[in-house]
Amino acid sequence: MGQSIVMIGTRKGLWIARSDDRETWELQGPHFDMEDVYSCCIDTRGGSVRLFASPSSSWVGPKLMHSDDLGETWVEGKIGFPEDTGTSLERVWQIQPGVGDTTVWAGTEPGAVFRSDDRGETFELVRGLWDHPHRPEWGAGYGGQAFHTIVPHPTDTDRITCAISSGGVYATTDGGATWEAHNTGVQAEFLPEGSQYPEFGQCVHKIARHPARPDRMFMQNHGGVYRSDDGGTTWQSIEQGLPANFGFPVVVHPHDPDTVYLFPLSGSGGRYPVDGEARVWRSKDAGETWEALDDGLPEHFFVGVMRDAMCTDQHDPVGVFFGARNGSVWASTDEGDTWREIAANLPDVMAVRAAAL
């Protein structure tokens, strides 16, 4: 087994954990002390490792940083809105490698998507989405209006799917020149009766796509869990059997397109796990049935897990990781069957990303 790395973005900086056996972890940090880190990314393309992080603070503003030496030093990439848009960057919510070795995507607040073709050195606004006629009607979720999810097609560079709170899912098949709303079948339960299935306006919390079956996608919505088998064009509910249909993250198994992980929360209450019991829920049949995974997790757990605070690595067996808003980070090295805490007493965890090096 090679080395493993976990990036942990919090409300007060970034921590990096490294391990040679996924049992003993060395924790380093904080990087970007006292800055919010809502997104981070481990890019292993091209035979080299580049880490990305998006620190932000009220006094120095947002940045998009990268490191080629596992966090020893950091370089700032160039990202910002053109002057003619009349707006400015507030936060980077998503950093996502694209197809090939050099494309990197970034999702931001206010709601926009940026593209880099030099592996994160410089970014340009995707005008086709910024100029979309729906944009004036997009709302804002509790955390703000942001494109928080970008899932490129693994083989077709022209196909990208994104999600915004609150606006829903949008997809392009021409490299970003034009975009269509892909929300058929997704409920917006906060809208009046009779108008809860609009073309757009849903508060999608996260979507995930499997690289081996790219038309298979999963969604955690603000009230609803869904699967699409046609690349996101239509969605069907798969929430039956779950303790709640509210939550933030959704994560696919990297080697099995039928296996998906969720962390359901009580949506109408305190937005913590139902009955205050920490449980990851797994389906091995694409959402037809669900099982609770709680071996090693705490029984009293009245905190949430955010949309980017859950992930997998690429090992076999797969490692599954999540971080919580009480500063704890949990890991499973047997695909979710058993769990143990690998970090504690950190600030509020917003993002967790893991990779095998």
pLDDT at 194 over 80: yes
How many Å apart are CA 4 and CA 39, to the nearest integer? Answer: 19
DSSP secondary-structure letter at 318?
P
Residue 41 has pLDDT above 60, yes or no: yes
How far is residue 307's CA from residue 38's CA, in Å, rounded to a whole number? 10
pLDDT at 268 over 90: no
Q: Tell me: the pLDDT tens digits for 294-312?
A: 999 999 999 999 999 999 9
pTM over 0.95: yes
Q: Cα angle vertex 44, ends 219, 123, to 5°?
A: 75
- 320-349 per-position pLDDT tens digit: 999 999 999 999 999 999 999 999 999 999
Tell me which of 3 and 282 has the higher pLDDT: 282
First vs last C-alpha separation in the chain: 9
| Residue type (1 letter), 154 | P
Give Cα separations from 298 to 173, 179, 210, 304, 338 (angstroms): 44, 43, 30, 13, 12
pLDDT in tens, 111-129: 999 999 999 999 999 999 9
The pLDDT assigned to 1 comes to 57
Residue 354 has pLDDT above 60, yes or no: yes
Give which of 158, 155, 183 is closest to 172, Cα–Cα.
158
Residues 248, 56, 131, 124: what is their CA dihedral angle, to the nearest 10 degrees?
-120
Distances (CA, A) of 306 to 35, 297, 300: 17, 17, 18
Determine the average pLDDT of the residues in 265-271: 84
* pLDDT above 90 for 267: no
Sign of the CA dihedral with 210 first, then 169, 204, and 45 last: positive
Closest CA relative to residue 213, chosen from 157, 261, 161, 155: 155
Record the tokens describing residue 325, joined without a space: 């808003």
Q: How far is CA 157 from CA 9, 154, 163, 257, in A?
A: 29, 8, 18, 21
Using CA of residue 22, residue 24, residue 29, residue 34, what is the dihedral sign? positive
Q: Does domain 85-348 have CATH number 2.130.10.10?
A: yes
Of 257, 262, 261, nearest in space to 247 by CA: 262
Residue burial 141-150, b: 16+ Cβ < 10 Å; e: rest: beeebbbbbb
Output the pLDDT for position 141.
79
pLDDT band at 234 (very low <50, low <70, confident <90, very high): very high
- Token pair of 54, please? 């998006």
pLDDT band at 249 (very low <50, low <70, confident <90, very high): very high
Beta bridge partners of 75: 66
pLDDT category at 58 given cuts 50, 70, 90 is confident
Say how far apart CA 202 and CA 189 lie, in whole Å: 8
pLDDT given for residue 306 in this prediction: 97
Query: What 3-state class would DSSP assign to 106?
Result: strand
Token representation of residue 230? 């046609």
Please give the mean pLDDT across all residues of the chain.
96
Domain map (residue ranges) of the chain = 85-348
Structure tokens at 178: 């034009």
Which residues, other chains included, contact 338 with Cβ-Cβ below 8 Å and sequence gap of 6+? 295, 296, 332
Question: CB burial class (10 A; 0-12, 13-18, 19+) of residue 53?
Answer: buried
| CA–CA separation, 220 and 251 (whole Å) | 10
**Distance between alpha carbon 57 and the CA centroid of its chain, in Å?**
21
Distances from the Cα of 319 to the Cα of 10, 62, 316, angstroms: 21, 31, 8
